[in-house]
Structure 1
Amino acid sequence: MAKRVASKSSNISDDERLMQLWLHGVSQNTVKAYRRDMEAFRSWVVKPLVEVTLDDLQNWYTSLDGADATRRRKLASVKSGLAFGTRVRLLPVDVGAALRLERERDTLNERILLEEDVLRMIDREQSPRKRACLRVLYLLGLRISEMCALTWRNMTRRQQGGIASVFGKGGKTRSVPVPAKLWKELMALRVDNRPDTPVVPGHDGGKLSLSAAHRLVKRAAGRAGLPDSVSAHWLRHANASHALDNGAPAHVVQATLGHASLATTTRYSHVREGDGTGNYLKG
């Protein structure tokens, strides 16, 4: 009879086993973010997750410093992990299910740049490589992690421009058209023909890091006289908002950005100044 090999999981704690099962198959960036939040919570409660109570969760949330959105994100991470533990019966009860917060005010409109602001950011960038980075974030509506991970293996040439195969949030792949002018700019940056060459390279021709891309956007925003809070994700917001304002169908914007719900996409629709339902009614 074949000898049974002991499972590696037998040497880890129940909490670590829960973490590994919970984060299995999700993106590397999601793993880092969720694990960081859950580890911070575990360090605070100083007890196994199986012993965590609703009081623990409430008191931890109250103790958190920082912006409300950041605190809510941390809570959402921990609640997700606890709910998963309950579903796979590693935890007896989902204590996070009883902790509900009032819905925060929608501030999306505060993070949408005008078209002239975005164009000023791009025009004032003198480096072709950095300008291409800004244009990819804006014209393709990519998340910063999606842009940094994009290689020429993911790019397909078309008669006019091309198609980028983007591996995005939730492990989903979507096809994003690349305008002809942007394709030409990206081709000019290509240093060799290997398929794993990054589409938007770093200063040394290798992969562009998330931190370097973040700094690049911040500096471009500063040169354009825009707020310090501007980030790469603001360019993704601008993509959706400006496309809808210019007549793009909502389902096209949804497919391009990879929104799971059309309701997410339509949040970017805006009422034009002086426009209202009365303009469409007789009377």
Structure 2
Amino acid sequence: MAVQTAQKSSPSPADKMLIRAWLHSKSENTRRAYERFALALLAHAGKPLADVTLPDLQNWSDSLGGAASSRRLAMAAVKSLTAFGAETEMLTRNVGQALRLDRERDSLHERILSQVQVATLIDMEKCPRRRALLRLLYVMGLRISEACRLTWRDVTRRQQGGVASVFGKGNKTRPVEIPARLFKELVALRVDTEPKAPLVPGHNGGPLSHDAAHRIVKRAGKRAGLPSSFSAHWLRHAHVSHSLDRGAHVHAVQRSVGHASLATTTRYAHVQDGDGSGKFLD
């Protein structure tokens, strides 16, 4: 989505303080995106946030290009900002409260790869380091930022494989199992024996950056003939969906991937052959 951040004037000190406080506890990726949305709104309105009106928000919404889901994310971010400002009394009112977001059709199924597609994606990657990253994202169901952050200090060896202490969304830490086969692949990559060494290193042996990991995933997707919209998060979707399909307990999957709500996890459950309620009526 094209969001213009060129500003007619610099944000006021009060707006800078509000945005900084609003973003304080959010993840790095969320902070970058949400800050861009906030600055774009201020640039479009040409006034301090305290003076922004509902028509200003609606006009900015109408000016946004790109996919409907991207526009909805931008408006949801701004609604979050104005709600936070009102709750902390940094704003006198929550002007975004009256803004209604259109409901989005659930298209999750369009982003869930089959098990054959995932196997093809991984098998076509011949570089052991890049292959390990793809396997890590899929087998452990990690977000790309979580995978890049993992070091050997975060790993506890078990008789079969290991357990990683994953620091994720919402500043929460959760234990995630590393199956034996994947654990062996990661050990084979290890050159630096320091505890701070990354689980999946970059090409120079140092930490793998988010951008570098993203490029590895996108190239693998292109090689496997996947849609251009394919991203690392699709492998996380696949992890949840395939785990449930293979009989994993929904609560175990929820804990493993760090979903705050069980409802989020159950969205991935598929109707298996013979399980549909329609058979009782036909």
Question: Which interval holds the TM-score relative to the shorter structure?
Answer: over 0.9
Mapping of 1:103-182 within 5 angstroms? 103-182=103-182
Worse overlay, 110-119 or 219-228:
219-228
Q: Is the 8 A contact 2:75 2:101 kept in 1?
A: no
1:145 Cα offset (Å): 0.7
Q: Distance in 2 between matches of 1:93 and 1:282?
A: 53
Deviates more, 1:108-117 or 1:222-231: 222-231
Contact 2:83–2:97 at 8 Å: present in 1 too? yes
**1:260 partner amino acid:** A
Equivalent in the alignment of 2:235: 235
For residues 118 and 101 of structure 1, the distance between their equivalents in structure 2, rounded to whole angstroms, comes to: 34
Cα drift, residue 195 of structure 1: 1.4
Quick check: which has more Rg, 1 or 2? 1
* C-alpha distance in 1 between matches for 2:189 and 2:37: 38
Q: How does 1:258-277 map to 2 (within 5 A)?
A: 258-273=258-273, 275-277=275-277
The corresponding residue for 1:5 is none
1:66 aligns with 2:62: no
Q: Which moved more, 1:215-224 or 1:92-101?
A: 215-224
Aligned residue in 2 for 1:32: 32
What displacement does 1:282 show?
9.9
- Per-residue Cα deviation, 1:89-146 (whole angstroms, up to 9, x for no partner): 1111101111112211000000000000000000111000000000000000000111
CA distance in 2, matches of 1:28, 1:196: 20
Q: In the alignment, which residue of structure 1 is the partner of 2:5?
A: none
Corresponding position of 1:55: 55
Q: What do the CA deviations read for 1:232-251 (whole angstroms, capped 9, x no partner)?
A: 00000000000001100100
SS in 1 for 2:200: coil
Equivalents in 1 of 2:20, 2:225: separation in Å?
44
Q: How far apart in 1 are the matches of 2:160 and 2:186?
A: 14
Structure 1 runs (4+) greater than 6 angstroms displaced: none
- Aligned equivalent of 1:9: none
Q: Against the structure 1 CA distance between its residues 49 and 131, is the aligned structure 2 distance closer, same or farther, given a 3 Å change threshold?
A: same
Deviation at 1:45, TM superposition (A): 0.8
Between the aligned partners of 1:50 and 1:35, the Cα distance in structure 2 is: 17
Instruction: Supply the AA of the counterpart residue of 1:75.
Output: M
2-side partners of 1:213 and 1:134: how far apart?
A: 9
SS of residue paired to 1:167: strand
Q: Work out the CA distance in 1 between the residues paired with 2:183 and 2:106.
A: 35
Q: Normalising by the residue count of structure 1, what TM-score does the alignment of the two structures yield? A: 0.92
Question: What amino acid sits opposite 2:153 in the alignment?
Answer: R
The alpha carbon displacement at 1:273 in A equals 4.6
Residue 188 in structure 1 maps to residue 182 in structure 2: no
Gaps of 5+ in 2: 1-11
Which has the higher mean CA deviation after the structures are superposed, 22-31 or 255-264?
22-31
Q: How does 1:58-97 map to 2 (within 5 A)?
A: 58-97=58-97
Deviations 1:213-269 (A, max 9, x none): 111111111222222121100000000000001100100110011000000000000
Q: In angstroms, what is the RMSD of aligned CA positions?
A: 1.5
Identity of aligned residues (%): 60
Q: Give the whole-Å Cα distance in 1 for the aligned partners of 2:272 and 2:138.
A: 22
Distance 1:273 1:216 in 2: 36
Q: Aligned residues, how many?
A: 271
Matched to 1:233, the amino acid is H
**AA partner of residue 163 (structure 2):** I
Q: Distance in 1 between matches of 2:135 and 2:25?
A: 30
The question of whether the paired residues in 1 share the 8 Å contact of 2:25 and 2:170 is answered with no
Return the letter of the residue paired with 1:78.
Answer: V
Report the counterpart of residue 8 of structure 1 in structure 2: none
Which ranges of structure 1 fall in alignment gaps of 5 or more residues?
1-11
SS of residue paired to 2:104: coil
